[in-house]
Structure 1
Amino acid sequence: MILFIIFPAIIVAVTGHDCHRGKLTSLQRDIIVDEHNKYRSRLVKGNFANKDGNLMPKGKNMMEMEWDCELEISAQNWADQCIFGYSPENQREGVGENIYALGLPKDVEVFNTSAALFAIESWWTELIRSYRNNPSNKLTSSVASQDVLHFTQMAWGKTHKVGCGIAMHCDDGEAFIVVCHYAPRGNTIGELIYEQGSPCKVNKHCRTKKCSRKSGLCRK
């Protein structure tokens, strides 16, 4: 018997991301971008607590994520290698990378969209599972040692481009791998994960002078 793992219906604003050399559909790209922005929006509004049970600080100048076709291609190329490990940094200069893999019995079928949502949720859950109080909101060596670098890359305020690849054929069809690439890359020791402050309500609140009022994120 084949079991289908299906997430609840998700309504997204279709923006028509069309990457001719990519393997994902435009709808899948939209869902991935919207999930990233949903988490980032709730973060800057102060709606997430860390492992210590304290609310994360509100933020300002958090960039709204957008899809990048070249990042999708590079992420897909690495996902297709079916290696659960980071790609060489000299092959992705200035680009951050998150990886997720899961093994499943052959009688369990997972679709690409669900695989991506599994990955994104797992990365963000590092905040609740491992991230401790961090008054400076900077990525320090101590913070980096907490096994939270997938979360911090997703939450990195200056990052505004993402592209992901998914390989469903790994381990003779019994595992899948999701890889997302980010630019500009985050996770730089000594830098702010994101700026503390109030999310934007009008354009002048953003360094870019473009505010998405509903999300509180700034647009490029």
Structure 2
Amino acid sequence: KWSTELQKVAQGWADTCKWSHNPDRSSDSPSFGYVGENKYLRTGNFNVNRSVDYWMLERSKYNFDTQECSSGICTHYTQVVWHNSEYIGCGVNFCTSMVGLSGWNNVYFHVCNYGPGYVFTLYLRKKRMI
């Protein structure tokens, strides 16, 4: 379901052109507790499907038997498909330069926030304790 609350926070972060996760996204979205976030950069024409396709490519790094990343990063994928993330809100901004990421100029910065978010590292820690 679309959330205007999450969309406003995502758009606000996209507008900063900072290549880092928004440290305030959960406190800025009090309805959701923990808020997950995916980011994507694109030169040329922006198409939202490319962002989602890029995050979904990480599926190949996810081991369904162990429910862990088999190699590399797969947390963008797990956030997109996590069953408890009922709400999403996204924003996009054209950035002439990215703060914290040299060499990326004139790009579209796409940010999606998910509520409630998926805390993959916490899940893995709990799983290893069992």
* TM-score, normalised with respect to structure 2: 0.74
SS at match of 2:64: coil
Partner of 1:160: 86
Runs (4+) of structure 1 moved beyond 3 Å? none
* Pairing of 1:40-119 with structure 2 (within 5 A): 66-88=1-23, 90-93=24-27, 94-102=34-42, 104=43, 108=44, 110-111=45-46, 114=47, 116-119=48-51
Inter-CA distance 78–145: structure 2 relative to 1 (3 Å threshold): farther
Q: 2:52 aligns with which of 110, 115, 120?
A: 120
* 8 Å contact from structure 2 (residues 25, 35) kept in 1: no
| Aligned residue among 55, 58, 77 for 1:151 | 77
Q: 1:171 is matched with which residue: 75, 88, 97?
A: 97
Gaps of 5+ in 1: 1-65, 192-220
Using CA pairs under 8 Å that are at least 6 residues apart, name the structure with larger relative contact order, 1 or 2. Answer: 2
Q: Secondary structure at the match of 1:174?
A: strand
Q: Which residue of 2 aligns with 1:181?
A: 113
For the pair shown, the structure with the greater C-alpha radius of gyration is 1
User: Is the contact made by 1:153 and 1:186 (CA closer than 8 Å) also made in structure 2?
Assistant: yes
RMSD over equivalenced CA pairs, Å: 2.3
Partner of 1:22: none
**CA positional deviation for 1:169:** 3.2
Deviations 1:76-101 (A, max 9, x none): 0000011121111x442410000001
Tell me: CA distance 1:171–1:68, structure 2 relative to 1, closer, same or farther (3 Å).
same
2: CA distance between counterparts of 1:86 and 1:145? 22
Structure (1/2) with the larger strand percentage: 2
Give % identity: 29
> How far is 1:144 from its partner?
8.3
Q: How far apart are 1:160 and its partner, in Å?
A: 0.7
CA distance in 1, matches of 2:114, 2:66: 23
* In 2, Cα distance between equivalents of 1:101 and 1:92: 22
